[in-house]
Amino acid sequence: MNYPIKSTALYDIDACEVIEGRENVSDMQATYDYWDQKRAQFLANTDVVQFVKAISKQSLQIVHRANTTANASQSGFCHLNVREHVEQHGGTQVYGWQIATELTEGNDLHGAAFGIFHSNWLGANGVLWDVTNTTLNTQLFLPDPARVYDFSTLTGYNNRVVFLSDYKLKHPLEQVARNKTYFTALGFRSRDRIFEKYTQPKSREALLASLPPRYFANTDGNDQLNYEGMEWLALKYSVRFGG
């Protein structure tokens, strides 16, 4: 089933007071209307629709961004933030993907669409809330019940990127195949499709021990991580807890 956005509950201030406080109802309505328009623009783009369908069978949702929670400052730890919020206030942890393109992030994405593995909080009133500070502007979220963060092994899912139809117009010298989903760490584009999942290393020593030998160069008798090794680390590990 899809996780519903109940428009009447969205403006039930008392029900949402636990994380948002008494916000101005007209501001909340304006925010929802703005992202509803963005969602419609997203769904008018065939490339983005194909990308979304390839990730999850759920429908694209609008999340309301909390700005007064104690955990909101813990950027980069969305899964942990939401788990703690559920323990304190009830509700449900919803795993899925923040969906972002130039439409939400400006020219930073340059003809690409990202799916950022993320957690949101579903309150008793049926509203999805983002309780984690994030550098992304997007409030469009694709629930994905097939994928969860494994707290016992610190394993989650790397972000995904697809290059859209107009990518080559903006990058004429780059030979990038379009409409294929690649796995990538946040802020790092790669054509490497190896790592769907990531596991946070328990220590620096464990991280270095996991690298293949070819990613080290011996300099003055010391093993130094080469550029390819740094790329490998960015792809496999830098996402941390997501969000």
Give CA separation, 221 vs 63, 206, 207, 218, in Å. Answer: 53, 21, 21, 6
Residue 34 confidence (pLDDT): 93
State yes or no: pLDDT of 233 exceeds 90: no
180 Cβ contact list (under 8 Å, min separation 6): 162, 163
Q: Which two tokens stand for residue 10?
A: 């969205």
What does the pLDDT look like over 72-106, one tens digit per residue? 446 568 899 899 989 988 999 999 999 999 889 88
218 part of a folded domain: no
192 part of a folded domain: yes
1 part of a folded domain: no
Residue 120 confidence (pLDDT): 94
125 part of a folded domain: yes
State yes or no: pLDDT of 159 exceeds 50: yes
CA dist 38 and 172 (Å) reads 28
Alpha helical stretches, state H, 97-226: 102-105, 167-170, 204-209
What's the pTM value of the predicted model, to 2 decimals? 0.75
For the CA atoms of 200, 201, 204, 210, what is the dihedral angle to 10 degrees? -120
What does the pLDDT look like over 40-50, one tens digit per residue? 999 998 889 99
Stretch (H or E) spanning 115: strand 112-122
188 part of a folded domain: yes
Q: Which of 23-37, 101-115, 203-217 has the highest mean pLDDT?
A: 101-115
What does the pLDDT look like over 160-217, one tens digit per residue? 888 887 777 777 666 666 666 776 655 555 555 566 777 777 777 777 777 778 887 7
42 part of a folded domain: yes
48 part of a folded domain: yes
